Chains A and B, each alone.
Chain A
Amino acid sequence: FYLTPPQVNSILKANEYSFKVPEFDGKNVSSVLGFDSNQLPANAPIEDRRSAATCLQTRGMLLGVFDGHAGCACAQAVSERLFYYIAVSLLPHETLLEIENAVESGRALLPILQWHKHPNDYFSKEASKLYFNSLRTYWQELIDLNSGETTDVREALINAFKRLDNDISLEAQVGDPNSFLNYLVLRVAFSGATACVAHVDGVDLHIANTGDSRAMLGVQEEDGSWSAVNLSYDHNAQNENEVERVKMEHPKSEEKSLVKQDRLLGLLMPFRAFGDVKFKWSIELQKRVIESGPDQLNDNEYTKFIPPNYYTPPYLTAEPEVIHHKLRPQDKFLVLATDGLWETMHRQDVARIVGEYLTGVHHQQPIAVGGYKVTLGQMHGLLTERRARISSVFEDQNAATHLIRHAVGNNEFGTVDHERLSKMLSLPEELARMYRDDITIIVVQFNSHVIGAYQNEE
């Protein structure tokens, strides 16, 4: 069985999405030029989610990737809801009041976010009312709390993450009279999702990360070469600080059972996540909710299963680690991706492949004749060879697609091997997950001119 190149392309491009920040008067005043995103499923259905939106009541753009486990319900809910929580956390007091008054008097609401969605990125209609009410409760509390201080982005991000996770947990405990919704909120709470979110406003880039997705900055060095800067830490067993943190939070007696086979309680790969109430709630609470829950929940072995050595919950948190970075003109792009990418590619390769793709040129030393004796024929041969190396770059219109093509199709020499690509993409559903994970990628391109101008102002 063999896929033709057009078939390969149609699979790779099925979920690709691009957004260019519109220019006005030939000028783009945003530090973001635009972004490319794409997903390649391995699970059926895919458990990854992605989101991108522009904050309309404050400045800045939000982008995030979400990697679900034990189903996609939690990742789906987080992809729909998290940005609203962040946006609300960032809003000044007056705007919150204005919004609340509008809701109160039934007037039209100020739009908070402008979403940039692929047609396949859906929002659940049924839950929107429920989600909205939770969000409204949140902003009402913010209004009451009015600290009068200007909102700190780091704090806003942390609050939003924690609050949403809390709401997910509460909604599952309270339940819903509508049986469909009731089952939904339980599925959300019992599944889990990691989140890696970027907030870009001018030269201020904040990355809030929970779990093992990763944010990486592509930097162009003075000599034109590309290097990678990590803007997040993986929350998993490979991160010593993270292991240390978990151990600190629980009695010494549990030290041995906390992390087993590189997993939390021997079960969970990411050490931080949304949902996953099985690692957060007390055993009593879990049992009570499952018993009173719908039959589907009771029939599910996974949800009923209580983790071993479960003594001092919670073992898991959704609190993100936030990294702030001041963008510089040499910071050309940001890659947000779920672990499906990072398992197969080193970040240095990611930086090079995206960098070369975006600049349209393979980084090769520019040729200068200088004092050498070069003939027209030799030069022609050299240039033809250089061009052939570049040509593969131009197949894709989307940087994320290009990266996926490399991630899945790269051979040992670091070039895309069509045969390998074809094999990997034609794997039957049940086998696909063995060879690769869901991959979700967002590549954000920065506007160096604008960033440079910001720098000069300061």
Chain B
Amino acid sequence: AAGMFLRLLSDVQWRAAHPKWRRMTSSQRSTSTTAEPHPVSLPAQAQVVICGGGIMGTSVAYHLSKMGWNDVVLLEQGRLAAGTTRFCAGIVSTARPVSIELKMAHYSNKLYQQLEQETGVQTGYMKTGSISLAQTQDRLISLKRIASSLNVMGIPCEIISPKKVVQLHPLINIHDLVGAMYVPEDALVSSANVSLALATAASRNGVQIHERTSVSHVTVKKGRVTGVETDRGRIQCEYFVNCAGQWAYELGHSGEEPVHIPLHACEHFYILTHPLKEPLSSSLPTVVDPDGRIYIRNWQGGILSGGFEKNPKPIFTEGRNQLEIQNLQEDWDHFGPLLGALLRRMPGLEALQIMQLVNCPESFTPDMRCIMGESPTARGYFVLAGMNSAGISYGGGAGKFLAEWIVNGYPSENVWPLDLKRFGTLQSSRTFLRHRVMEVMPLMCDLKVPRWDFQTGRQLRTSPLYDRLDAQGARWMEKHGFERVKYFVPPGKDLLDLDHSKTFYKPDWFDIVGSEVKCCKEAVCVIDMSSFTKFEISSTGDQALESLQYLFSNDLDVPVGHVVHTGMLNEKGGYENDCSIARLSKRSFFMISPTDQQVHCWAWLKNRLPDDSNLTLEDVTWKYTALNLIGPRAVDVLSELSYAPMTAEHFPSLFCKEMSVGYANGIRVMSITHTGEPGFVLYIPIEYALHVYNEVMNMGQKYGIRNAGYYALRSLRIEKFFAFWGQDLDAFTTPMECGREFQVKLEKGMEFVGQEALLEQKQNGVYKRFTMFILEDHDTDMDLWPWWGEPIFRNGRYVGKTTSSAYSYTLERHVCLGFVHHFDEKTGEELVVTTDFINQGEYEIDIAGQRFQAKAKLYPFSSLFTQRRRKDEVELSGYQRE
């Protein structure tokens, strides 16, 4: 039966292929009786070798060739578009919660629309639109949030009533619906044929395509790709692109230098039916019913319907055991609940005759986002895989970004949320992946609420204080595999269980975090911040200083004991990393950066530091436990514990000193708190962690010390207008755009990366500006809470999106941070954003379609925060120095 389906979807189009590779492929077909199936030999070398002839591989080839790179070879182990791509349901949907994924899908849609005209290959493109149904108010809110971001991107989209749903699709049972979202431009395609069309165009542009050629491994020398070994010989190349889909993990591990690509396949089922008595129109919209966990599209007069069940079946955990995806078993009992949901949604289909249940494995990733980018360990080794069942939606855009990445060194958009380097080796355990994808696949349909934490694959990296904190009521979240405290539930207080705590409104931890914040403001709190990435750079001579001066924008030639906040910028002046660097001695530096920088920052520095054995870079993240003492009494606790004066005269702000705390010696104390509040971070060699923690808690008692978590930290830093890398800052944001000129030393007597771009911005002005918004008419108890990604409107016009938000317990208002652009009213062209432009607008923030007035500020409130010490005047004054 599967064979029948294969015939239905493809083959006819093979004849439409360009002669150049029809010769290669058709000859094998016509000579299928002969023993030698490979009449065309492989080239000895190529600039780029792509492995995988599915939608991803062909899209990368297509876009590379469009950009003028045509010394490209695409290798496919079986036949083109014969894997997951062939079985894919072919739904192109732009309704994606992550903005970069939305952009990729939008681009894909536009690309596929004109592909048939461009290539002459029929793609089956049909603009049907899609309807996403909401059975609950919460679901409707999540759809409204997506609708808001689609609208500001110019993608038509509306929230419709159940009545309107029936008009669009007569078969839908609407009695349990509260509303729906209609995206009229979503489309259907034959994904295999889209892939073949892309291959045809690429082939015309000179890309060589070889089927039935397996890559055994990639060779890497001195950290660079040198070639690939195949079952038909070796090809030398500069770039390798792993588009092997669900086999990408194994291919990554096949070489001597493993490339960790954390993805895992799950079986995925959909049914095909015979046509209805009155065949369904091919223009009928696709229906997505996330509460029923299903999607339904029209298919050859009948329907195609699949879904994401609660109990997924992971597959191939132990590795590949077949060449192409053959007919895996149909499992009707497994599909039963989805079939039930289908008939509830379309009861009229009871009498429709079944054609087939298709089992088509899809690969999923640990965080539900796809994987692209360059390997941190092997330069020139690129990856594009792990599409979480949205391969056809992302295919065009993802291929374009990856091609740009190879050709230009970086894509035209910020793709950090998808970057391979967000993962480390720790996410590559098969057990971890198997467990995690079993959670991820059902999440495809689950409500995505703010601050959701994965429940599987936890307690992987922990601080030595984990058990102590846990016993005191800590609730945990995970970042880069590291357990971090969200907040502490006081004894006797009960919070909602996991499922019931899902909300878009005021969360149940509101008062708990409020009291932690209050304690940070009035007394002192301890936050375990051990997860932060910590590197040490040292040298025998001046190499460390010289290299860092070149790689970082601020001046690091400061006296020993000083701490410098600085960006690690790219050539365009954008933040690759935002860190604090302490000068430990003349020749050694201690660098602290965000938790998820561990892989990215390491690769960035390794690739740019001179190859000098006298210069060492060491990752010491695991060696230190970091305790952040926040609050006005931190100074008292610490001076009592160390018998050292800690006042501003002896220990000024942005200072670092090794001291003893309790019995433990050699504790690195820094007068920073990452929040703008007074206090210190203690970097403690891990074996002393428990001792120092106990000492601090004992001594702190009389000062009212308590534990606090990251939610309190976030509230504090956002109300103080502190930007965080990965959240607010990315590779496309410069210090000039977020009011951090003071962290850049343009005239430090030597050149540094990004200097030129920053000078130009200083001259010409910036095109976006990081701004703080205070929500004015927002009711914390009754209104939806902002999260991030909310559109910002200035004088009624869209100007940008928020990047983070928090409730400020001091201001008793919500604070959103985000970027304001200035789009020309007529042309939409981006104009320079001036201080006046920011200050002279009336602002609104759109939360799920509802707009709230907001006051824009370019500087934090300083008068509100009393009890300040000299130190944070220094920290804050930086912002005022414009």
Contacts and interface: CB of A to CB of B under 8 A. Distances in A.
B330 A376 contact: no
B183 to A, nearest CB: 27
B342 interface: yes
A367 B350 contact: no
B170 interface: no
B222 to A, nearest CB: 33
A370 B327 CA distance: 13
Contacts, number: 65
Interface in A322-371: 361, 364, 366-370
Interface in A160-213: none
A383 B333 contact: yes
A374 interface: yes
Interface in B550-573: none
A380 B340 contact: yes
A369 B331 contact: no
Interface stretch (B146-154, B351-359, B729-737): B351-359
A373 B273 CA distance: 11
B347 to A, nearest CB: 9
B340 A367 contact: no
Interface in A378-401: 379-380, 383-384, 386-387
B1 interface: yes
A369 B350 contact: no
Contacts of B431: 26
B9 interface: no
Nearest to B305: A376
Contacts of B339: 376, 379-380, 383
Nearest to A377: B350
Contact of B336 (A361, A366, A368, A383): A383
A385 to B, nearest CB: 10
B424 to A, nearest CB: 18
B343 A380 contact: yes
Interface in A295-341: none
B827 interface: no
Contact of B333 (A370, A373, A387): A387
A376 B352 contact: yes
B351 A387 contact: no
Contacts of B357: 369
Contact of B342 (A364, A370, A376, A386): A376
Given A384-B336, A384-B340, A377 B351 contact: yes
A375 interface: yes
B332 A379 contact: yes
A366 B329 contact: yes
Interface string B355-394: 1110000000000000000000000000000000000000
Nearest to A371: B1
A368 B330 CA distance: 7
A364 B334 CA distance: 13
Contacts of B271: 376
Interface centre among A369, A376, A386 (most CB of B within 10 A): A376
B354 A379 contact: yes
Given A369-B1, A369-B357, A383 B332 contact: yes
A374 B339 CA distance: 13
A375 B332 contact: no
Contacts of B16: none
Nearest to A369: B354
Contact of B356 (A26, A369, A377, A380): A369
What is the interface residue range for chain B against chain A?
A: 20 to 34
A369 B343 CA distance: 18
B354 A375 contact: yes
Interface centre among B271, B331, B350, B430 (most CB of A within 10 A): B350
B630 to A, nearest CB: 39
Contacts of A384: 336, 340
A367 B430 CA distance: 31
B349 interface: yes
Contacts of B333: 361, 364, 366-367, 383, 386-387
Interface in B432-458: none
B356 A376 contact: no
A386 B332 CA distance: 11
A375 B330 contact: no
A1 B552 CA distance: 81
B351 A375 contact: yes
A375 B335 CA distance: 15
Nearest to B342: A376
Given A379-B354, A384-B336, A370 B1 contact: yes
A386 B336 CA distance: 10
Nearest to A364: B333
Contacts of B355: 369
A373 B353 contact: yes
A369 B430 CA distance: 34
B637 to A, nearest CB: 41
Interface in B738-766: none
Interface in B304-343: 329-333, 335-336, 339-340, 342-343
Contact of B332 (A26, A361, A366, A377): A366
Interface centre among A364, A367, A386 (most CB of B within 10 A): A367
A366 B336 CA distance: 12
A383 B334 CA distance: 9
B340 A374 contact: no
B354 A376 contact: yes
B354 A387 contact: no
Nearest to A370: B1
Nearest to B271: A376
Contact of A387 (B1, B336, B349): B336
B862 to A, nearest CB: 53
Interface centre among A377, A379, A386 (most CB of B within 10 A): A379
Nearest to A390: B333
A442 B350 CA distance: 46
Contacts of B350: 375-377, 380
Contacts of B429: 26
A196 B640 CA distance: 68
A106 to B, nearest CB: 36
Contacts of A361: 333
Interface string A81-101: 000000000000000000000
Nearest to A361: B333
Nearest to B429: A26
Contacts of A366: 329-333
Contacts of A387: 333, 336
Nearest to B355: A369
A370 B333 CA distance: 16
Contact of A377 (B329, B335, B343, B430): B343
Contacts of A377: 343, 349-351
A371 to B, nearest CB: 8
B353 A374 contact: yes
Nearest to B434: A26
A387 B1 CA distance: 26
Nearest to B318: A449
Contacts of B351: 375-377
A376 B305 CA distance: 11
Interface centre among B336, B352, B356 (most CB of A within 10 A): B336
B432 to A, nearest CB: 9
B854 to A, nearest CB: 50
Contacts of A369: 1, 330, 354-357
Contact of B354 (A26, A364, A374, A386): A374
A368 B359 CA distance: 13
B781 to A, nearest CB: 39
By Cβ-Cβ distance, the 4 closest A-B pairs, closest first, are A377-B350, A383-B336, A26-B431, A367-B332
Interface of A: 26, 361, 364, 366-370, 373-377, 379-380, 383-384, 386-387
Given A26-B430, A366-B330, 11 more contacts: A26-B429, A26-B431, A366-B329, A375-B351, A375-B352, A375-B353, A376-B350, A376-B353, A377-B351, A384-B336, A387-B333
13 contacts: A361-B333, A364-B333, A366-B329, A368-B330, A375-B352, A375-B353, A375-B354, A376-B271, A376-B349, A379-B332, A380-B343, A383-B333, A383-B340
